[in-house]
Structure 1
Amino acid sequence: MAVDASDFLRRSGEFMQRQLPQIEVWALNKTGDDALSALQDRMKVSFDRPTRWTLNAFQVWRATKSTRLAMVQERPSVGRRHYLKVQESGGPRQQTALEKLIEARVVSAEILRAVVPTRDARVDSYGNWSRGERNQALSEIGAQRDRAANATETSIKRARRRGRSSYFVPRNGGLTPGIWKRTVGGDLSKVATFAKRAPLYAPRLKFEDTVAATYRDRLEPNLKWAFERAVQTMR
C-alpha cells in the first residue's frame, strides 16, 4: 500500500496559516480568564472576607488578531486605591481618605496616622466598619467631607433624647486617642483607635506569581482546546 499525503499536507498548511491567528487569540484570552479566576481564588483564601469590589479589581485586556497579546491588569478605578498594591508588595499603607479628613479636621498629625476600628465597632458582613456607624461617628466628630453633613451640638442632644448613642473624640487626655461611643446610659466604649504609625503588611496577593504560574500551566492545554475548536468550526 502507498499513500500520497501531499494534498493533505497542503490543505493542513493552508488551514494552519488561515486559522493560526484565531487559535492564538482564543488560547490567550482563555488563559487570561484562567489567570483572573486564579487571582480571585487566591484572594478568597488570603484575605478575610474580601468584598466584591476587591474580587473584581482586575480585568482581562483581551487579545485580538492584530495584537495577539492578552493582559491581566487593574481596572482603571483601582489606580486611585492603594490597599491592593500594598497587599502585593508589602510595607506600610498610605492614609485613606477617611484618615486624611480626621487628621485635617479633628486631630493633629502627631496623634493620627491611621484609624483602626476596634472589637467594639459594628462591622458588616465583610468584617469592615459598618457604614451606618462610621458615618454617624464622622458626622458627630465633624469629619464628614460635606461639612453640611456634620452634626451640631443641638442635633446630637436631640438624638440622645431619642435614645441614640453619641460619638466623640476625647480632648482632655483622660481617654486614649480615638473615637469613643457613649450610650444613653453613660457607658463608654472605643470604636476606633488613632494609631501614630501606619499598619504594616506582608506581601499576600502575589499577583505576578499567580498570573505567571497560570500562564505556564494553562497556555498549552488552551492552545489544544483552541485548535480543536478551530477544526470543529472550519468551513
Structure 2
Amino acid sequence: PLPGVLRCGVPMSMMMRLDATDFIRRSGAFVDRQLPQIEVWALNWTADDALAAVQDKMKVEFDRPTRWTLNAFQVWRATKSKRVAMVQERPSVARRHYLKVQNKGGARPQTALERLIDDRVISDTIIRAVIPTQNARLNSYGNWSPGERNQVVSSIGAQRSGAASIAAASKTRGRKRGRASYFVPKPGQLSPGIWKRTAGGRLSMVALFDDGAPVYKPRLDFEGAVAKAYREKLEGNLRKAFARAVRTAR
C-alpha cells in the first residue's frame, strides 16, 4: 500500500494526502529493469504494423499483386541486446529490381529473360525490353504465363545459330508435337518480336521487342508507408508494452 493519510475534515469531507517518494523510487527501479523488454515489444509490434501497411499499399497500388510480391519484405526483429527493428526486402527479392523501380520510379533494368533474348537473338532492332502483347497467355495475376515464357525460352534460349535456324527448329518441333511453336523471325520479314505458330500454321506475335527501357512513375512509397506507421503506432505500442510488463512482472 502507498504511504498516505486519510482524515475527516469538515462535515461531509475527506482529506487525502500522499507521499509517493518511495513509490516513485520503486517504480523507477521497475522501469529501469523492464525498459529493454518494453522497447523490444514496442519496436517489434510497430515494425509488424509497418509491414502490414506496406502490404496494404501494394494491394491498392498494384494490380493483383502475387504472394511473392506481398511477401517481398520482412521484419528484422529487435532484441534486448540490439534494440533496433527494421522492415526490409528479403534477400531473395533484394537482388531483383522490380520493386525498387515501382518505389522510386525511373527506367526499369532488363529482366533475365530480356538479357537472354538480347544475347541470343539476331534482330534488326536493339532489344532493350520484351513486352507481352494481347496474344500472350496471362496467369491469374495478369502477368505473362510462366508456362508460355518457358516455352519461349526452350524455343529460342538455347539457340545460337541465328534467327532463321531458330525459326526453322521451332517450327519443326511444334509440328512434331502438334502444339504451338515460338520463334524470332529473320530480320526484315515480320515485326521484331517473339511469334507463335499454331499447329495449323496461324501466326501471332506474343511479345514485341522495344529498344527503349520501360519507365515507371513512383507508386509504392515504401519509406512513406513505414514512416506513417511509425508515427501513428509507436506510442500506442509503447503503452501496450508497458502494460504488459506490469501485468507479467514477477
Fold equivalence (TM over 0.5) = yes
Q: Distance in 1 between matches of 2:58 and 2:200?
A: 42
Equivalent runs, 1:103-118 vs 2, <5 Å: 103-107=118-122, 110-118=125-133
Q: 1:173 to 1:152 in 2, by over 3 A?
A: closer
CA RMSD of aligned residues (A): 2.1
Cα shift readout 1:77-104 (whole Å, capped 9, x = no counterpart)? 2221011111111110101111111011
Assess, with a 3 A threshold, how the Cα gap between structure 1 residues 204 and 77 changes in structure 2: closer, same or farther. Answer: same
1:43 aligns with 2:58: yes
Shift of 1:174: 3.0
| Aligned counterpart for 2:202 among listed residues 187, 197, 222 | 187
Shift of 1:162: 3.8
Tell me if the contact between 2:170 and 2:181 (Cα under 8 Å) persists in the aligned partners.
no
CA contact (8 A) 1:169 1:178 kept: yes
Say if 1:164 and 1:184, in contact at 8 Å, map to a contact too: yes
Q: What amino acid is aligned across from residue 40 of structure 2 in structure 1?
A: V
What is the percent sequence identity of the aligned residues? 67
Runs of 5+ in structure 2 lacking a partner? 1-5, 7-16, 160-165
**1:165, 1:182 within 8 Å by CA — same for their partners in 2?**
yes
SS in 2 for 1:111: coil
4+ residue stretches of structure 1 with deviation over 4 A? 151-156
| Aligned positions of 1:43-82 closer than 5 A | 43-82=58-97
- Letter paired with 1:98: L
Matched length? 230
- Once the two structures are superposed, residues 62-85 of structure 1 have per-residue CA deviations (whole angstroms, 9 ceiling, x without a partner) of 112222111111111222101111
Structure possessing the higher radius of gyration over alpha carbons: 2
Take 2:246 and 2:99, find their aligned partners in 1: how far apart are those partners?
42
Shift of 1:30: 0.4
1:1-235 matches, cutoff 5 A: 1=6, 2-107=17-122, 110-141=125-156, 143-144=157-158, 156-235=171-250
* Distance in 2 separating the partners of 1:211 and 1:82: 20
Between 199-208 and 52-61, report the one with greater CA deviation: 52-61
CA offset at residue 177 of structure 1? 0.7
Q: Which has the higher contact order (CA 8 A, sep 6+)?
A: 1
Q: 1:159 to 1:189 in 2, by over 3 A?
A: closer
The runs of 5 or more residues in structure 1 that have no matched partner are: 146-150
